[in-house]
Structure 1
Amino acid sequence: MHIILLSGGAGKRLWPLSNELRSKLFIKILPSPAGGLESMIGRVCRQLESLRLLDSTLIISHQEQANITALHTKGLTPVIGEPFKRGTFTAAALAALYLQSSGMAKDDDTICIAPADVFVGEDFFSSFKRLPDILDEADADIALLGTRPTHASDQYGYVLPVEFEHQNGYSPVAQFIEKPEIRVAETLLQRGALWNCGVYAFSLSFMLSQIKEAGLPTHYDELLAKYEHLPERSFDKQVAERTKRAVVLPYQGAWQDIGSWEALSAQLDSNVFGQGTISGQSSNSHIINELTLPLHVIGVPDIIAAASPDGILIANKKNSNNIKDQLGSLPLQAMYGEATWGSYRVVDRFTTEEDATVTVVNVTVLPGKNIGLRQHRSGHKAWTVLTGSGQVLMDGQIKQVTSGMQFAMTLEVDGFYSILAETRMVVLEVRIDGPEGEDRVIFEAEDWEKIIERAKLQT
């Protein structure tokens, strides 16, 4: 069996800690059984590893999140980067074709797709092991997991099983219902409906037939080449709701959507993260502060006070999801990000009278890591090494740098550069963007020599 974790979200419900690059998956504040803290994706990988399933798992995410995904999964599982977000069906199709093209999966192998942001009990992934046998035994095209609802909700999809239940615990699916009204949800609960966990198992050959039926290329490289122009499709509507031979296996353990500050704070083992204090009549209040400035809550119960370089949120927990409406539909510029090579934090950003954007960034590069070969498209860029030492590559030339040294690029045409840290480097970067916008990474490799070789080819 091959597990595909779908990791395409960058929601706003946990703003300001989540942004376009760092989704809720990468917020490292959940208590770990071994002590310390872990992120949601780290928790999932730990659970899979404990069942010896991580070696057969790959993750598909948007390519802008591929680096941070690799960081939080410690490089223990392959990460496929989607060039564009095109829905769960298209993402699953790309991952399935990757497995086929790489020779990792055969047509009769079982593929199991699941959301990467599940917050479940330790036994949840044990149910995955039963799905291949259930597919064979039931002669089904799809086997999925459903969990017993704790209340009527309009936030989840439902699966209605037929009354017959096989001795091995699964039932044929009578109907899929996507996020019904509360009145309908109450009726569904009375009829024994389950919440849909978003976990689907099927054979690779079945997925290939669905890809072909959708009019998509059945080769990985061809699908990737056409990705930008594909419509957005969900697996639920494209496949599950159209499949007549589907069975559902009830899952009895803990299953929760950690998609709000109220739900997340209920899982924490401390009320204060970062600098700050809670005092007075402030029961059930939490502080999560990533800034260097202290944040104090006095005499205010049931609130979340969250602060990061992206902003500050003070909200009653029950109403905190309204932040989505406050932020609007426009994408936000991330002020903080992580990668396998280190991290960055935007210190300041402003627009000059000439309409040029000036951005000041604090960049940390870990020892032995490089930021990849980047294309300087236009404008001005200058760096000051605050601490540490390493090498700078600019248009094929290598320069040794140490604390206090400065280097710059002032180009109106494309140029290429990279930074390698020999010791932990903290660099202050100031850039004035030209009309072509921000730089972009064109090549990534752990090996510094490969970065140099690629730079020579570019120049």
Structure 2
Amino acid sequence: MKLILLSGGSGKRLWPLSNDARSKQFLKVLPKLDSQDKGLQSMVQRVWGQLERLGLTQSAVIATSNSQVDMIHNQIGKNVPIIIEPERRDTYPAIALAATYLYSSKNTDKDEIVGVLPVDPYVDDNFFKRLLDLEAVLNASNAELALMGVQPTFPSEKYGYIIPNIEQSTKEIVKVSHFKEKPNTQEAKSLIEKHALWNCGVFAFRLGKVISLLEQNSLPTSYDQLLDNYSLLPKISFDYEVVEKTNNIVAISYDGAWKDLGTWNTLTEEMASDVIGRANKSNDSVNTHIVNELDIPVSVLGLSNILVAASPDGILVTDKQASPRIKELVYNLHQRPMYEERRWGWYRVLEHTKYEDQMEVLTKRINIKAGNNLSYQYHNYRKEIWTIVKGEGILLLDNELNVIRTGDVVEIPVGVKHAVKAVTELEFIEVQTGTQLVEEDNHRILLTWDEIEDSVYSLNK
């Protein structure tokens, strides 16, 4: 059985910690699975660790957008197989692209069962063991699609429901009648009485089902060719494009613990601590959580059942019950991400100022992990000044290599090619000055340090 993990979303419901570059699955606020380790981990680190323990990572790939690749590599390793969407086009195109990768690049047979799941469920290991039962269920039932549903513990309005056909179902296999998306509480109670299951976004199919759909629509089944023609795929969810058009669907139930940590009130229930970062609260602040990523202290006095979240992107103070409504406030809030994790480390925007003459000044704190490097690049619309505050590195500037250390100041003029590698953990303050301080002005020439050194060697021969 092959597994496709879907990693997407912009995580607006967990603003200000989540943004377009750092979705909810990357927030390091959960306790590590090893009870002896007091560190923090993210949802994606937790799930990938569970799959590793069960020996399932060898058959798994992650489908995601280009904006999340560095974050995935940073958190779970550079050898994780990733299917990168050329553009965001919903879950059906992402799954179709991953299917062609398995089919044409990995020579997977059309009869192979493929399981699909989100990259961020909060579950125990039994969830993934139960997921593997979908293969046997598909083979035994001859169904086209098999789902895994969660036994509801309360009448939730947040989840979709899988409605069974009781007469055609058995104890082991549920015959699916239809679906109900996010009913009100009264409807949910009625559905639970009819043995409905929460739809947790987990399903399985034979690889040939998706390959056949592509062939029917005259779309390539080769991974490389579908990459080049990705924009031809309909911008639609797998539910609408495939599930709703499939008649023979079965499901199995999972009766263990399962949570979607998609809102602050649910996430705080599982956080490693009620205070993370430079913060404190009074003893009479009951059921109050603080997450502070800033370098200034946050204190809460005499307030209960609230959340305070502070990051370079903003500050949120909310009653926990009201926290799912955060989208109402930030739906139209558009700004550059102020914090990002990259394949080489991380950066934080300290200040961004725009002047009337179109000039801008952007100040960043940049941290590069030992042995990693920034790409060989140049900029057309800005100059940069770096002040090294920690560590040692090798700087390539205008085809010349030099060692840089704490206290050094480096000036990078407009248009000059440059790169840096961290010998030890390297940190510096970068001040950008120019008229277009945007990601699009990062013109990358080479990514790896081996390529960069080879290029310098050939130029200086």
TM-score range, shorter chain: over 0.9
> Which letter maps to 1:12?
K
**CA shift for structure 1 position 368:** 0.8
Q: Are 2:409 and 1:374 aligned? A: no
Cα separation, 2, equivalents of 1:158 and 1:183: 13
Structure 1, unaligned runs of 5 or more: none
Q: Deviations over 1:384-422 (max 9, x none)?
A: 2222222223454433322222333332x5x54321111
Cα separation, 2, equivalents of 1:221 and 1:173: 36
Change beyond 3 A, Cα 1:329–1:386? same
Aligned partner of 1:5 in structure 2 is 5
Q: Is the 8 A contact 1:395 1:455 kept in 2?
A: no
Counterpart of 1:13 in 2: which secondary structure? helix
Cα separation, 1, equivalents of 2:281 and 2:379: 46
Of 69-78 and 7-16, more deviation after overlay is shown by 69-78
Q: Deviations over 1:203-259 (max 9, x none)?
A: 111111123345533221222223356542101111011111111011111111111
Change beyond 3 A, Cα 1:167–1:368? same
Structure 2, unaligned runs of 5 or more: none
Cα separation, 2, equivalents of 1:282 and 1:179: 33
**CA shift for structure 1 position 436:** 7.9
**CA shift for structure 1 position 76:** 5.2
Match of 1:163 among 157, 163, 166: 166
Aligned partner of 2:17 in structure 1 is 17
> Which letter maps to 2:251?
V
Q: TM-score, normalised by structure 2?
A: 0.92
Cα separation, 2, equivalents of 1:192 and 1:449: 59
Q: What is the aligned-residue identity percentage?
A: 37
Change beyond 3 A, Cα 1:422–1:147? same
Q: Is the 8 A contact 1:385 1:405 kept in 2?
A: yes
Q: Are 2:66 and 1:63 aligned? A: yes
Q: Are 2:250 and 1:244 aligned? A: no
* Number of aligned residues: 455
Counterpart of 2:300 in 1: which secondary structure? strand
Change beyond 3 A, Cα 1:408–1:212? farther
**CA shift for structure 1 position 168:** 6.4
> Which letter maps to 2:87?
F
Q: Is the 8 A contact 1:146 1:251 kept in 2?
A: yes
Q: Are 2:433 and 1:437 aligned? A: no
Q: Are 2:221 and 1:218 aligned? A: yes
**CA shift for structure 1 position 170:** 1.3
Of 267-276 and 358-367, more deviation after overlay is shown by 267-276
Aligned partner of 1:418 in structure 2 is 419
Match of 1:290 among 293, 297, 301: 293
Match of 1:385 among 380, 385, 388: 388
Of 215-224 and 311-320, more deviation after overlay is shown by 215-224
Cα separation, 2, equivalents of 1:113 and 1:455: 45
> Which letter maps to 2:450?
E
Match of 1:119 among 99, 117, 122: 122
Match of 2:402 among 387, 399, 402: 399
Q: Are 2:371 and 1:361 aligned? A: no
Of 67-76 and 358-367, more deviation after overlay is shown by 67-76
Of 11-20 and 320-329, more deviation after overlay is shown by 320-329
> Which letter maps to 1:353?
E
Cα separation, 2, equivalents of 1:113 and 1:395: 48
> Which letter maps to 1:5?
L
1:29-178 correspondence to structure 2 within 5 Å: 29-34=29-34, 35-36=37-38, 37-75=40-78, 77-103=80-106, 105-164=108-167, 169-178=172-181
Change beyond 3 A, Cα 1:358–1:58? same
Q: Is the 8 A contact 1:64 1:81 kept in 2?
A: no
**CA shift for structure 1 position 357:** 2.4
**CA shift for structure 1 position 60:** 1.4
Q: Is the 8 A contact 2:360 2:436 kept in 1?
A: no
> Which letter maps to 1:295?
V
Q: Is the 8 A contact 1:385 1:426 kept in 2?
A: yes
Aligned partner of 1:267 in structure 2 is 270
Change beyond 3 A, Cα 1:380–1:171? same
Of 170-179 and 64-73, more deviation after overlay is shown by 170-179
Counterpart of 2:374 in 1: which secondary structure? coil
Of 162-171 and 337-346, more deviation after overlay is shown by 162-171
Aligned partner of 2:197 in structure 1 is 194
Q: TM-score, normalised by structure 1?
A: 0.93
Of 41-50 and 218-227, more deviation after overlay is shown by 218-227
**CA shift for structure 1 position 181:** 4.1
